[in-house]
């Protein structure tokens, strides 16, 4: 990118570090350091830590899916194994081994890497469906083993530890949430930067080439299998770091950290954010964690809404949330973004109404079925009403149908505005 040079004579003389690419990292670091001043509460820090772990995990997943073209249904294995191993190391520290806690993620990463090396040796021979199926099989295998091999996985109750037993670092024993927060974001930044730089190395670039056309990469002299294997190993390393961070934060790991549901969730997170961009998984992790915690507070149906959102993303915006934003960069650069403001503003209210009324419909249905006999009072959006009465349901249905109808009518207009905004020629503008 910016480090390359046009002529071989001047190669290497251009500045290695470009200010434009450093700035986002500095901003992110400063923001993360200042964040506890804004949201100092224990629960806020817990959510941010959870976000950070999901970000590292999702970024490592995207090394496979987005950058390497490998769809894995068993990525939780590497995070989980890294986490379990870190937990055992943590317990060894309690038994007398000298190791400061901030160094623990290295061990988790190495262990995740080791298993990625092992399993990748046969699973990366093919991409596509075969790879996906092997990853699923291995994932199920390891998850099932976790119940059998009690000495390592701790059986059903899992393995737990105490993070405060290690030597103090600058007077910190990591007992408080804030200290763990700084440890987590420290590793978040290191891991994210590591993965970003990895994607800019020749091997990261070749991984993209293999993803796009494995035959041509082979003709260039690269073994597609080895390239995939290397991406897989690197991805396993960062997943292991995420596992170690999980171990440090929660001090317990169970079978749940390895199973198919966790692997599926990370696919969902990554895809929601967008697999085509480096920041995609970051956006996905933040949005997903917020949705999970905030929606989870208000409704029991959040899984259903998430499923609908995910399916809609796959069908209509296969490049995810980041892709949706990136679509607007071209009109922005051409100075035509103004064409879209009015249609979008017109679309906004019917869209919000459609979502709210659709959700209301389902919530009322759910309330009718779930609430106890005689308990027919429910409140939604600040309104309290009788869920068994006909009018709330009727209102929800009518509002939903009308707003969908309006969206349908407006869509042609939005499409026209979109064509206008992305039209590069001069005529008509």
Partner 1 sequence: MSLLIVNILDGLVTGLLLFMLCSGLTLIFSMMGVLNFAHASFYMLGAYFAYQISLITGFWLGLIVAPIAVGVIGALIERYGLRRVHKYGHVPELIFTFGLALLIEEVVQFFWGRSQLPYNIPEALDFAAFSIAGNSFPAYKVFMIFIAVGIFITLLYILTKTRIGMTIQAALSYPETVQNLGHNVPLVFMGVFGVGTAMAGLAGVIAGPILGTFPGMAVLLGSIVFVTIVIGGLGSLWGALVASLLIGWIQTFAATYNVRMEDILTSVGFTKPEPVWDSAWQDLWTLTLPQIGPILPYLLMVIVLVFRPQGLFGKRES
Chain positions contacting partner 1, by CB under 8 A: 65, 69, 71, 73, 122, 125-130, 132-134, 136-138, 140-141, 144-145, 148-151, 260, 264, 267-268, 271, 301, 303-304, 307-308, 310-311, 314-315, 318, 362, 365-366, 369-370
Report helix, strand or coil for 105: helix
DSSP secondary structure of 58-85 = HHHHHHHHHHH----S-THHHHHHHHHH
Residue nearer to partner 1 on the CB measure, 167 or 303: 303
Whose CA is closest to 70, among 197, 224, 200, 192? 224
Shortest Å distance, C-beta 225 to partner 1:
12
Shortest Å distance, C-beta 202 to partner 1:
24
Residue nearer to partner 1 on the CB measure, 362 or 404: 362
Shortest Å distance, C-beta 125 to partner 1:
7
Other beta carbons within 10 angstroms of residue 421's beta carbon come to 21
Whose CA is closest to 135, among 72, 227, 211? 72
Shortest Å distance, C-beta 312 to partner 1:
9
- Please, which residues have CB within 8 angstroms of residue 349's CB and are 6 or more apart in sequence? none
């009324």: which residue's tokens? 357
- Please, which residues have CB within 8 angstroms of residue 385's CB and are 6 or more apart in sequence? 377, 378, 379, 391, 392
Residue nearer to partner 1 on the CB measure, 35 or 371: 371
- Cβ density class 307-327: b for 16+ within 10 Å, e for less: eeebeebeeebebbbbbeebe
Shortest Å distance, C-beta 137 to partner 1:
5
Shortest Å distance, C-beta 173 to partner 1:
31
Shortest Å distance, C-beta 429 to partner 1:
29
**Whole-angstrom distance, CA of residue 159 vs CA of residue 189:** 27
Residue nearer to partner 1 on the CB measure, 40 or 307: 307
Residue nearer to partner 1 on the CB measure, 249 or 313: 313
Residue nearer to partner 1 on the CB measure, 174 or 319: 319
Residue nearer to partner 1 on the CB measure, 137 or 167: 137
Structure tokens at 311: 């399916």
**Whole-angstrom distance, CA of residue 151 vs CA of residue 421:** 62
Shortest Å distance, C-beta 364 to partner 1:
12
Segments in 164-201 forming alpha helices (H): 177-200
Shortest Å distance, C-beta 107 to partner 1:
20
Contact status, residue 259 vs residue 147, Cβ threshold 8 Å: no
Helix (H) or strand (E) segment spanning residue 237: helix 224-250
**Whole-angstrom distance, CA of residue 290 vs CA of residue 279:** 17
Shortest Å distance, C-beta 303 to partner 1:
5
Check residue 171 and give left, alpha or beta (phi > 0: left; psi -120 to 50: alpha).
left
Other beta carbons within 10 angstroms of residue 100's beta carbon come to 14
Residue nearer to partner 1 on the CB measure, 169 or 295: 295
What are the distances in angstroms from CA 256 to CA 61, 63, 155, 185, 242?
Answer: 18, 23, 11, 24, 15
How open is the CA angle 255-75-123, to the nearest 5 degrees?
A: 120
Residue nearer to partner 1 on the CB measure, 154 or 343: 154
Shortest Å distance, C-beta 172 to partner 1:
34
Residue nearer to partner 1 on the CB measure, 291 or 301: 301
If you ran DSSP here, which 8-state letter would residue 126 be given? S
Residue nearer to partner 1 on the CB measure, 69 or 108: 69
**Whole-angstrom distance, CA of residue 156 vs CA of residue 282:** 32
If you ran DSSP here, which 8-state letter would residue 255 be given? G
């Amino acid at each position: 990118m910016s480090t390359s040079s046009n002529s071989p004579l001047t190669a290497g003389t251009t500045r290695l570090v470009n200010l434009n690419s450093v700035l986002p990292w500095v901003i992110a670091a400063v923001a993360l350091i200042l964040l506890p001043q804004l949201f100092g509460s224990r629960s806020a820090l817990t959510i941010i830590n959870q976000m950070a772990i999901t970000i590292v995990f999702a970024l490592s997943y995207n090394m496979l899916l987005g950058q390497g073209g490998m769809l894995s249904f068993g990525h939780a294995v590497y995070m989980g194994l890294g986490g379990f191993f870190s937990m055992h190391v943590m317990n060894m520290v309690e038994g007398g081994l000298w190791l400061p806690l901030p160094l623990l993620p290295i061990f988790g990463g190495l262990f995740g890497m080791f298993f990625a090396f092992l399993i990748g040796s046969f699973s990366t021979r093919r991409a596509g469906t075969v790879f996906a199926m092997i990853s699923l099989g291995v994932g199920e295998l390891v998850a099932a083993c976790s119940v059998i091999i009690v000495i390592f996985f701790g059986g059903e109750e899992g393995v737990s530890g105490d993070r405060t037993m290690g030597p103090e670092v600058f007077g910190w024993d990591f007992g408080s949430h804030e200290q763990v927060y700084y440890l987590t974001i420290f590793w978040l930044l290191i891991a994210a930067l590591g993965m970003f730089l990895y994607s800019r190395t020749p091997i990261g670039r070749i991984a993209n080439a293999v993803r796009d056309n494995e035959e041509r990469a082979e003709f260039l002299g690269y073994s597609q299998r080895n390239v995939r294997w290397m991406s897989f190993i690197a991805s396993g390393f960062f997943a292991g770091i995420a596992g170690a961070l999980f171990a440090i934060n929660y001090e317990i790991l169970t079978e749940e950290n390895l199973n198919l549901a966790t692997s599926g969730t990370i696919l969902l997170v990554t895809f929601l954010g967008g697999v085509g961009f480096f920041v995609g998984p970051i956006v996905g992790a933040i949005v997903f964690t917020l949705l999970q915690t905030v929606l989870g507070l208000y409704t029991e149906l959040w899984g259903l809404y998430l499923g609908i959102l995910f399916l809609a993303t796959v069908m209509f915006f296969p490049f995810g949330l980041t892709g949706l934003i990136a679509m607007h960069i071209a009109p922005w650069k051409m100075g035509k973004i103004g064409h879209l403001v009015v249609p979008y503003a017109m679309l906004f209210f019917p869209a919000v109404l459609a979502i709210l009324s659709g959700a209301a419909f389902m919530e009322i249905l759910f309330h009718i079925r779930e609430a106890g006999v005689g308990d027919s009072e429910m409140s939604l959006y600040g309104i309290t009403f009788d869920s068994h009465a006909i009018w709330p349901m009727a209102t929800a249905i009518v509002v939903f149908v009308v707003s969908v109808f309006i969206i349908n009518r407006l869509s042609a207009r939005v499409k026209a505005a979109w064509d206008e905004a992305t039209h590069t020629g001069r005529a008509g503008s």
